[in-house]
Structure 1
């Protein structure tokens, strides 16, 4: 990520954090720990890595709970590693046969066991979205994403959890931390820290985690059988390239995955 882009994004996310605290939407302890993490990230990346691996971040802090929307991919796994320095993590995976096979489920279980965090699957009905995708009526991502977010929010509400963490890297700057509903705060922690995908892979490597996935889930690959739907996915990939959260090389690879060249 270009230094100027990173600096601008970090300045914006810092303002969002300050505003959230000024509105009394987060506790002083969480504010201070997020601020500390933000300041370390603003320095040398090796120092940031060392901070994530150290025990000092866990001292003298009674951790509040946070739900992490966990897909088992690079972004959500890195989000857990980063957020675990501040929160007591509960990973929640929204499960459907249309977006997850048995191999992916097993991988998720192995990951959460290795990370030593609690984890739950929540089953969700995606039949209408699948049928509309199969027929070429709608691209699935928007509706699927909304369904997943609603399930995660409902889980947080039922369990009295005030923080939901997502790995989506496009919610940059002031959008990276915000109140969403009933005293619950949404934190896109990688966006908050301007951590690009290649940096996430370095973090995972430091924690001896190797994740190799092709682009997209089963449902989105079903959508790509319709040429008209490929362009919507490609537009998102290009947004990620423009935001510099993925490199042009990775963007090209993902596009080729979409169009199957």
Structure 2
């Protein structure tokens, strides 16, 4: 990511964190910990590289875990996994995978369980019904990603609220600034960890490497692959990829690879 772009994103998310603190919507220990984590990434930005001596996952930078409960929406991909790795250094952290056989097959479900176990975090699968979305995708009524994303987030949020979590954490890379961390009306703080820290995909991979985690997967779930059989829907998928390229959260090379996966 371009240095100035990353610094602007970090400044904006720091302002969002400060706003929560000013409104007394966040505990002092959580504010201090998130502020320290954020400062580590700011320092790293000044050093231009994610390979600097400031590595937020080092034991030397250990933070005091608060009593706040955090639920990470966990797909087992790079973004949600790095979110989980960072979250467990801040909060009492659990993982939730919103599950449907339409998007997660048995092998993938097993991989997600194994990764959660490796992270040493409590993990729950919660079912969601995506049959209508799949049916309408097959009928070419709409591209599934928006509706599927909403259904999954709503399921995770409902679980978080019903189980008295203080934070719900997503691996969203694009919701920067005030959207990266904000207080929801129903009394829970939403934290989009990668966007809060202006983390791009390769930076997340480097952090995971320190945890001896390597995630390799093709682009898109099974439902998206059904959608991409339709040329018109391919265009919407490619637009989503290009958004990430323009935001510089993935490289042009990775964007091209993902587009090739879509049209292959």
What TM-score do the two structures reach when normalised by structure 1?
0.96
SS in 2 for 1:94: strand
Counterpart for residue 135 of structure 2 = 131
Task: Note if 1:93 corresponds to 2:97.
Answer: yes
Instruction: Indicate yes or no: 2:5 matched with 1:5.
Output: yes
Equivalent residue number for residue 195 of structure 2: 191
Aligned equivalents of 2:80, 2:247: Cα separation in 1: 18
Asked if structure 1 preserves the Cα contact closer than 8 Å seen for 2:33 and 2:63, the reply is no
The residue correspondences of 1:12-27 to structure 2 (distance < 5 A) are 12-27=12-27
**3-state secondary structure, aligned to 1:72:** coil
Shift of residue 24 of structure 1? Answer: 1.9
Does 1:57 pair with 2:37?
Answer: no
Partners of 1:83 and 1:147 in 2: how far apart?
23
**Following TM superposition, by how much is the alpha carbon of 1:97 offset from its aligned partner in structure 2, in angstroms?**
0.8
Q: Deviations over 1:200-254 (max 9, x none)?
A: 1111111111111000000000000111111111111111111110000001111
Tell me, in whole angstroms, the C-alpha distance in 1 between the residues paired with 2:230 and 2:102: 17
Q: 1:200 maps to what in 2?
A: 204
Equivalent residue of 1:42, what SS?
Answer: helix
Gaps of 5+ in 2: 45-49
What residue is the counterpart of 2:47 in the other structure?
none
Pairs aligned (count): 258
CA contact (8 A) 1:63 1:86 kept: no
SS at match of 1:106: helix
Is contact 2:218–2:261 with CA below 8 Å preserved after alignment?
A: yes
2:179: which partner in 1? Answer: 175
- Residues 134-180 of structure 1: per-residue CA shift (max 9 Å, x gap): 11111111111111111111111111112000001011122101122
Measured in 2, the distance between the counterparts of 1:143 and 1:217 equals 14
Are residues 12 and 27 of structure 1, via their aligned partners in 2, closer, same or farther at CA, if it must alter by over 3 Å?
Answer: same
Q: Is the 8 A contact 1:40 1:47 kept in 2?
A: no
Residues in 2 aligned to 1:110 and 1:48: alpha-carbon distance in whole angstroms: 29
8 Å Cα contact 1:57-1:86 kept in structure 2: no
Note the alpha carbon deviations across 1:74-128, whole angstroms, 9 max, x for none.
Answer: 1100111111110111100000010000111111111011110000000111110
Considering only aligned residues, what root-mean-square deviation do their CA atoms show, in Å? 1.2
Query: SS of the residue aligned with 2:107?
Result: helix
